[in-house]
């Protein structure tokens, strides 16, 4: 058995930790030998920053089981403990590769190579680092999960499609809202501080972060995005896991990417390719929606070279637990007006790669999914415009509402509330409240929003407190009025309710309207009662 784990005694005992990256490295070994592994940790963290260390098999197994299927875990394990844990964790989607680090190589190769995810059995730390480095160059291309929303017009008997359709619409509006929301120094400092905390002790990435602070400019955003640094890793992770607050902090840089893609928008029709490893469930989800529309909620990187994309799928004769997928995409710039795409090779950190990048939220029609003779699934898609699907009126109108008003944190809070993201909605509403001058009339509608939000979350005492603050503000600022702002911000919510649920029966819509009126009446009555109580006291 290898007498080695990573330095210090920071062994993992709980499963609540979060990482800003998709990939994590887990090291399981019963013995500790700090001297032999300090350099190894430094080298590994320059590849995969997030490392968790275990001495106990059950703790390690529990940690792996609790990880999301969108996580990507690389496991290093000693020979003896590997025989215990590998049979139980090998089938999990989140585990993508395993490395056995041991002393008696031949003994452990006999059992190890029965498991397809075990990439190698090694006896030297340098060999281990070298193997992980080489494999990760391909893993980061094909293993990062795709975040996809589906709009479907098919309604099977007894099966509702409003869930996927709603996600499709709201993801589009959220990105549009964030692109219009101005960034400030508070947000940028929070972003930098988060990265500094995430990469503490990782000198490679801290140097990259320092260079970023000194050297970044909007015209260099594509160079930074394609360079293998914290910027690419954390942005991709935020988009693929839909970490809304990280996307919020990244919004200025996402806007810069949008403007660069718009500036270098491809002028002619292209056919491009992307390789991907998928679980059978992920693939079936797409196969069940042929001729429907999907939106991809991340930057979508493709290659002009089919052979390059196929290379990343590896040796097709090697059996793996995932499905090999090749996207073939037809993209015509004449029909695309809102989501740009461009060949970014000249602006990339890797100018020799023929990379074509599609903007977040690009919409595609799924044309066909077939398996070829090499057992590779070929998914043919066509890039579409925002107005090619049946929800175009809803989508375009909602975008117009955002464009017709000043987008601020209240707009974002309203939208998140409609999405059911109540914690985040409260976060951004109170964030704006704390940034306002004490006599700003915007306090009125913010207090109203926070009171209604607290009621929705059944935090009734909190709702009363917000209404009390509202009345106090009105008493202290009798000339303040905020009716127009409140009415404007209500437009998005009203339209969503009217259009997304237009398929409901007329009498149900009437009931919903009456409920809304009743809620408003209750709110007004509550304000009157609070005012009376204050006067009595």
Q: 472-483 pLDDT, tens per residue?
A: 999 998 887 654
In tens, the pLDDT along 60-106 reads 999 999 999 889 999 999 999 999 999 999 999 999 999 999 988 99
68-90 burial, b at 16+ Cβ within 10 Å, e below that, comes to eebbbbbbbbbbebbeebbeebb
The better pLDDT of the pair 224, 493 is held by 224
Winning range, highest mean pLDDT, from 5-9, 35-39, 103-107: 103-107
Residue 160 predicted with pLDDT over 90: no
pLDDT at position 1? 41
In this structure, of 148-152, 402-406, 425-429, the range with the lowest mean pLDDT score is 402-406
pLDDT at position 519? 46
Contacts of 137 (CB under 8 A, 6+ apart): none
In this structure, of 2-11, 131-140, 405-414, the range with the lowest mean pLDDT score is 2-11
Residue 52 predicted with pLDDT over 60: yes
What's the token pair of residue 194? 């988060």
**Is this model's pTM higher than 0.85 or not?**
no
Pairwise CA distance, residues 137 & 121, whole Å: 19
Query: Within a 13 Å sphere around the CA of 54, how many CA atoms are in the beta-carbon half?
Result: 24
Mean residue pLDDT across the chain: 84
pLDDT at position 337? 75
- 19 membership: H or E segment, kind and range: none
Kindly report the backbone phi and psi dihedral angles of residue 378, in degrees, each rounded to the nearest multiple of 5, phi listed first: -100, 115
Domains and CATH numbers, the chain: 23-140 (3.40.50.2300), 148-394 (3.90.176.10), 405-536 (1.25.40)
Pairwise CA distance, residues 46 & 522, whole Å: 57
Q: Tokens 């290659």 label which residue?
A: 303
Residue 13 predicted with pLDDT over 90: no
What percent of the chain lies above the pLDDT cut of 70?
Answer: 79
Closest to 63 measured CA to CA, from 120, 100, 24, 98: 24
The better pLDDT of the pair 495, 225 is held by 225
């Amino acid at each position: 058995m290898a007498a080695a784990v990573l330095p210090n005694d920071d062994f993992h005992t709980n499963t609540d930790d979060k990482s800003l990256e998709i990939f994590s490295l887990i090291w399981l070994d019963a013995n500790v030998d700090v001297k032999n592994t300090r350099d190894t940790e430094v080298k590994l963290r320059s590849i995969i920053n997030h490392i968790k260390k275990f001495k106990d098999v059950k703790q390690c197994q529990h940690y792996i089981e609790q990880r999301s299927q969108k996580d990507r875990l690389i496991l290093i394990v000693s020979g003896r403990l590997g025989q215990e844990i590998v049979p139980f964790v090998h089938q999990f989607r989140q585990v993508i590769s395993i490395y056995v680090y041991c002393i008696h190589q031949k003994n452990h190769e006999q059992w190890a190579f029965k498991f397809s995810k075990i990439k190698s059995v090694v006896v030297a730390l340098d060999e281990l680092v070298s193997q992980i480095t080489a494999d990760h160059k391909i893993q980061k291309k094909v293993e990062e999960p795709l975040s996809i929303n589906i709009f479907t017009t098919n309604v099977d008997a007894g099966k509702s499609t409003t869930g996927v359709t709603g996600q499709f619409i709201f993801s589009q509006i959220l990105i549009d809202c964030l692109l219009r929301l101005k960034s400030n120094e508070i947000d940028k400092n929070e972003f930098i501080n988060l990265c500094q905390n995430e990469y503490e002790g990782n000198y490679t990435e801290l140097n990259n972060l320092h260079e970023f602070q000194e050297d970044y400019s909007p015209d260099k955003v594509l160079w930074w995005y394609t360079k293998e640094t914290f910027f690419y890793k954390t942005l991709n992770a935020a988009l693929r896991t839909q970490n809304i607050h990280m996307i919020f902090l990244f919004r200025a840089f996402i806007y810069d990417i949008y403007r660069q893609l718009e500036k270098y928008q491809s002028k002619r029709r292209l056919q491009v390719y992307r390789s991907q490893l998928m679980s059978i469930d992920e693939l079936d989800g797409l196969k069940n929606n042929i001729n429907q529309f999907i939106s991809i909620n991340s930057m979508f990187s493709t290659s002009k070279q089919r052979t390059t994309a196929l290379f990343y799928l590896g040796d097709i004769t090697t059996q793996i637990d995932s499905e090999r997928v090749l996207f073939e995409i037809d993209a015509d710039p004449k029909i695309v007006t809102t989501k740009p795409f461009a060949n970014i090779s000249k602006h990339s950190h890797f100018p020799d790669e023929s990379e074509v990048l599609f903007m977040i939220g690009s919409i595609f029609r799924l044309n066909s999914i077939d398996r070829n003779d090499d057992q590779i699934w070929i998914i043919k898609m066509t890039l579409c415009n925002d107005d090619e699907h049946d929800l175009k009126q809803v989508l375009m109108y909602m975008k117009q509402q955002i464009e017709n008003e000043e987008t601020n944190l209240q707009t974002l809070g309203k939208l998140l509330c409609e999405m059911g993201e109540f914690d985040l909605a409260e976060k951004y509403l109170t964030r704006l409240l704390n940034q306002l001058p004490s006599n700003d009339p915007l306090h009125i509608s913010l207090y109203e929003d926070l009171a209604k939000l607290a009621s929705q979350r059944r935090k009734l005492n909190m709702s009363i407190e917000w209404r009390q603050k509202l009345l106090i503000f009105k008493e202290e600022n009798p000339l303040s009025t905020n009716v127009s702002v409140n009415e404007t911000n209500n437009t998005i919510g009203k339209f969503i309710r009217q259009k997304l649920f237009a398929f409901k029966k007329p009498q149900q819509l009437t009931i919903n309207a009456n409920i809304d009126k009743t809620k408003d009446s209750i709110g007004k009555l509550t304000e009157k009662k609070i005012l009376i109580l204050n006067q009595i006291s």
